[in-house]
């Protein structure tokens, strides 16, 4: 089994300009879902840091990889997101796919082909879905790091406005401490009101 992702899929798909695309933040109760898109303009690099599934990396490793990706002239990257309101309107799957399309649209170079993490393909993009793509494709893994780091920063910034929810620590995920904070302080416009723990509290307390 391959230990780390590589460029095998990119090299074998018959296209030159290929974007890896991934998202972060499907599970949290609040905040946006964020997608990253990354194009490697070449496949040989000196001193490339660890780039793999962002969930398997430490925060320090992600920071190093993020800085390397975003400051490398041979790498093009973009970010897209969908708000909590949009997630409630179109559901999290469609919002994730839309965020991916927006990330690709932010790229300075239009890709010929997109490698999408997961088993669903955004309807407006040309390419293929790759199950567990962040563990096999370096382009997708890099996109997962862009998405994760961007979303974490958004939640840290929001936490300065709403420190009682500790979003800087839980990133919006339903930890026990987070749920207790919701019970104490209620919900606000950043919450996904269609998510069960939030919806249940709205029905119970009537605070939409």
The string of pLDDT tens digits covering residues 47-69 is: 999 999 998 999 999 999 999 99
Cα separation, 195 vs 208, in Å, equals 13
Is residue 167 in a domain?
Answer: no
Burial of residue 85 (number of CB atoms within 10 Å: 0-12, 13-18, 19+): middle
Q: Say how many residues make up the chain.
A: 208
Number of domains in the chain: 1
DSSP state of 147: H
Task: Flag whether pLDDT at 15 surpasses 80.
Answer: yes
pLDDT in tens, 128-154: 999 999 999 999 999 999 999 999 999
* CATH label of the domain that carries residue 49: 3.30.420.10
Name the residue range of residue 32's domain.
Answer: 8-156
Is residue 87 in a domain?
Answer: yes
Which residues does 21 contact at the CB level (< 8 Å), separation at least 6? 35, 36, 37, 38, 100, 103, 104, 114, 115, 116, 117, 125, 140, 143
Is residue 170 in a domain?
Answer: no
pLDDT-based confidence at residue 207 (cuts at 50, 70, 90): low
Sign of CA dihedral 100, 102, 153, 51: positive
Is residue 187 in a domain?
Answer: no
Is residue 43 in a domain?
Answer: yes
Is residue 46 in a domain?
Answer: yes
Pairing assessment for the beta strands 33-40 and 127-130 based on DSSP bridges = unpaired
Quote the percentage of the chain above a pLDDT of 70.
Answer: 98
pLDDT-based confidence at residue 1 (cuts at 50, 70, 90): very low
Which residues does 147 contact at the CB level (< 8 Å), separation at least 6? 22, 23, 24, 25, 34, 35, 36, 54, 79, 103
pLDDT-based confidence at residue 155 (cuts at 50, 70, 90): very high
Is residue 74 in a domain?
Answer: yes
Is residue 200 in a domain?
Answer: no
């Amino acid at each position: 089994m391959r230990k780390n992702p590589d460029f095998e899929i990119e090299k074998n798909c018959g296209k030159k300009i290929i974007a890896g695309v991934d998202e972060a933040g499907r599970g949290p109760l609040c905040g946006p879902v964020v997608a990253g898109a990354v194009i490697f303009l070449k496949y040989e690099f000196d001193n490339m840091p660890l780039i793999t599934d962002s969930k398997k990396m430490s925060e320090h490793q992600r920071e190093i990889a993020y800085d390397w990706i975003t400051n490398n002239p041979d790498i093009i990257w973009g970010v897209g997101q969908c708000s909590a309101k949009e997630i409630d309107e179109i559901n999290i799957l469609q919002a994730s796919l839309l965020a991916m399309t927006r990330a690709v649209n932010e790229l300075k170079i239009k890709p010929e082909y997109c490698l999408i993490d997961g088993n669903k393909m955004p309807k407006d993009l040309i390419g293929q879905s790759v199950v567990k793509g962040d563990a096999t494709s370096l382009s997708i893994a890099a996109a997962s790091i862009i998405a994760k780091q961007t979303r974490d920063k958004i939640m840290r910034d929001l936490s300065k406005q709403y420190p009682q929810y500790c979003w800087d620590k839980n990133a919006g995920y339903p930890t026990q401490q987070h749920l207790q904070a919701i019970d104490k302080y209620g919900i606000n416009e950043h919450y996904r009101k269609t998510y069960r723990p939030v919806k249940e509290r709205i029905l119970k307390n009537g605070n939409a």
